[in-house]
Chains A and B, each alone.
Chain A
Amino acid sequence: MNKKKGISENTKGFYRISWDILRKNRLAMICLFIVAALIVIALFAPLIAPRDPDLQIIKEKLQKPGPMHWLGTDEFGRDILSRIIYGCRISLSVGVISQLIGTVIGFSMGVCAGYFGKKTDAVISFIIQVFSSFPFLLFAIAIMFVLGPGLNNLYIALGLLSWTPTARLIRGDVLRLKNSEYIQACIIGGGSNLRIILTHLLPNCFYTLIVTSTLGIPGAILSEASMSFLGLGVQPPMASWGSMISNAQAYIRSSTYYSIAPGIAIIITVMAFNLLGDGLRDALDPKMRS
């Protein structure tokens, strides 16, 4: 860790120190690299994919991996590699967008509960408890059943369900911060609630938000895959890793490789986000620093 420095010297900021810690965590850096690569793949899918993911060439159906199709073709003769590359867009967008929705709801709820306390806190804590005792997948299925399948509805459903851990942690953070002297000073100084929340509480909760949303992404990606596997998520012909596995199920006798590839893609993505999230938590948690 850093050498002790005098107060008069220039000391590094919070995020700079966190970055230094993260940089030394080799596993987390590898995962950061994988995540960056996945984002590039998702953004530039049309340039990277060898073929149009929806192009059907029936006479090439269910081919084994070869020089023409690196991961083979599916039952409609579509290139599996291209579909996996396009599927990356779905997975990442569901992960990121649903987590953004969840983080905004979770932060608002958590801040209100912690900052206003009393009845507000009791009501919000009860809502959190109701949401977290409802089985996640079942709730997601019920919402998708009502909204109807589709990508946009998936963002909403998973966003609506993923806010409780954030809310719980933010509530705890705010309860702790509220008693600190500078927040008390702001309150006495007549700062409006909104001002205190946005300019003082938000920056101080920021690292919690980064960690919880990063650690929430893999769950959202897995849920998307599950929903698409059940046919309640992304609709055909759009390529999603979950629906690819679902389609591949009918061909496990003849084309084993077809079901393997999308699963590996899910594992790599989810694992990268999980380990990166762990690394971020270690780097950003002030309690971990000596």
Chain B
Amino acid sequence: MKKYLLSRIAQAIGVVFAISLITFFILNIIPGNPVQLMLGEFATQETIDRVTHEMGLDKPVILQYLNWLGNMLRGNFGTSYFQGRPVIELLGQAFKVTAGLSLMSYALALLSGIVFGIIAAVYHNKFLDKLLMVLSIAGISAPNFWIAIILQIIFGLRLHWFPISGVSSFAAYILPTLALGTRYAASISRITRTSMLEVVKQDYVRTAQAKGLPSWKVTMGHTFRNALLPIVTLAGSDLSTIFTGSMLIESVFSIPGIGKLLLDCIGNRDLPVIEGGVMYIAVICVLIYLLVDLLYAVIDPRIRLGGENE
């Protein structure tokens, strides 16, 4: 277990490092001088040169990268070109909002996805199962920003139940949460159903039934327990994509989260914020993957006790 843990952590660090390399070099080959953009079109060449030098943008790219990486490791993400505030402050503030929204959607998706998935598996091939599966495939196929707009129209503009933008009250979070969570609820319910149906065929489930356990006990204690692995894998990768998926939802509902911050900064080419934001999200994703893998090892003894070769 210890060996597995250490190798997995080393791998995660390697991935973060590779991502930082890709991010920096991709974002630094963009045409256009950021200093020129920052100072506006009336700046003299002299001022541009001076600011370029002050910001260290005239050094070789590799030195710039090492400098950037070193600063980032010390928690210094630089300063926004346009807002004049430290990037880490902007990101931290926006992240709180995004994390709140994402985690609520995630909780909703996990709960409803698993419940619907179990119901569909229990009523396999009955009407309820088919209805749930049609809904879930529609949920997977619909773009979440469109669901968001439809929710705004129905519950905001027609029924006046919830506000359609902002984060002023808890009620304002309800529509974004639903819009963001639908897709994940749909995919989790599908994998739950598939995995449950796979396990139901096993001998030990039949044994449990044969020895006269109540059917809910067989379903929850034997079938669901053993169907967990694929669900955990999917739920893990969902948790990391939900943070970025919230970008579109934030833009529809004007929520000042990390997605909206990044989109705004992409609009005005505020490079330090974009770089910092991408790294911030990437690190969170890698951490989540790491946690999921460790959780996996806890659930599945086969991984814990070797089998690291494949």
Interface positions of A (Cβ within 8 A of B)? 126, 129-130, 133-138, 141-143, 145-146, 218, 222, 225-226, 229-230, 232, 242, 245, 248-249, 252-253, 256, 259-260, 262-263, 266-267, 270-271, 274-275
CB<8 Å pairs between A and B, sample of 10: A135-B240, A138-B247, A138-B262, A143-B26, A146-B27, A229-B248, A230-B263, A245-B145, A245-B146, A263-B146
CB distance from B270 to the nearest CB of A (A): 11
**Complex contact B15–A267 (CB within 8 A):** no
Q: Which residues on the A side are within 8 Å of B153 (C-beta)?
A: 252, 256, 259
Interface positions of B (Cβ within 8 A of A)? 11, 14-15, 18-19, 22-23, 26-27, 29-30, 137-138, 140-143, 145-146, 149-150, 152-153, 157, 240-241, 243-245, 247-248, 251-252, 262-263, 266, 274, 278, 281-282, 285-286, 289
A11→B30 CA distance, assembly (Å): 58
A267→B142 CA distance, assembly (Å): 5
CB distance from A253 to the nearest CB of B (A): 6
**Complex contact B145–A135 (CB within 8 A):** no
With A130-B18, A133-B19, A249-B149: A263-B138 Cβ-Cβ less than 8 Å: no
**Complex contact B19–A266 (CB within 8 A):** no
With A137-B245, A245-B146: A271-B137 Cβ-Cβ less than 8 Å: yes
**Complex contact A138–B14 (CB within 8 A):** no
**Complex contact B157–A252 (CB within 8 A):** yes
Please report whether the interface of chain B is mostly helix, strand, loop or mixed according to DSSP: helix
Residue of B nearest to A227 (CB): B248
In-complex Cβ contact of A259 among B14, B149, B245 (8 A): B149
**Complex contact B15–A133 (CB within 8 A):** yes
Q: Which residues on the A side are within 8 Å of B281 (C-beta)?
A: 135, 138
With A134-B282, A141-B266: A270-B252 Cβ-Cβ less than 8 Å: no
**Complex contact A135–B241 (CB within 8 A):** yes
A256→B9 CA distance, assembly (Å): 50
CB distance from B52 to the nearest CB of A (A): 20
In-complex Cβ contact of B14 among A126, A134, A230, A252 (8 A): A126
With A130-B19, A226-B248, A245-B149: A266-B143 Cβ-Cβ less than 8 Å: yes
**Complex contact B266–A126 (CB within 8 A):** no
Known: A262-B146, A263-B146. 14 other contacts (CB 8 A): A129-B15, A134-B19, A138-B278, A141-B262, A222-B143, A226-B248, A230-B248, A230-B251, A230-B263, A245-B143, A249-B149, A252-B157, A267-B138, A274-B137
A271→B133 CA distance, assembly (Å): 12
In-complex Cβ contact of A229 among B27, B145, B278 (8 A): B145
A157→B26 CA distance, assembly (Å): 12
Q: Which residues on the B side are within 8 Å of A137 (C-beta)?
A: 241, 244-245, 247-248
A55→B145 CA distance, assembly (Å): 27
**Complex contact A145–B266 (CB within 8 A):** yes
In-complex Cβ contact of B150 among A232, A242, A263 (8 A): A263
Q: Which residues on the B side are within 8 Å of A253 (C-beta)?
A: 157
Residue of B nearest to A242 (CB): B143
A266→B142 CA distance, assembly (Å): 7
A256→B263 CA distance, assembly (Å): 26
With A126-B14, A218-B141: A135-B244 Cβ-Cβ less than 8 Å: yes
A222→B248 CA distance, assembly (Å): 12
Residue of A nearest to B266 (CB): A145
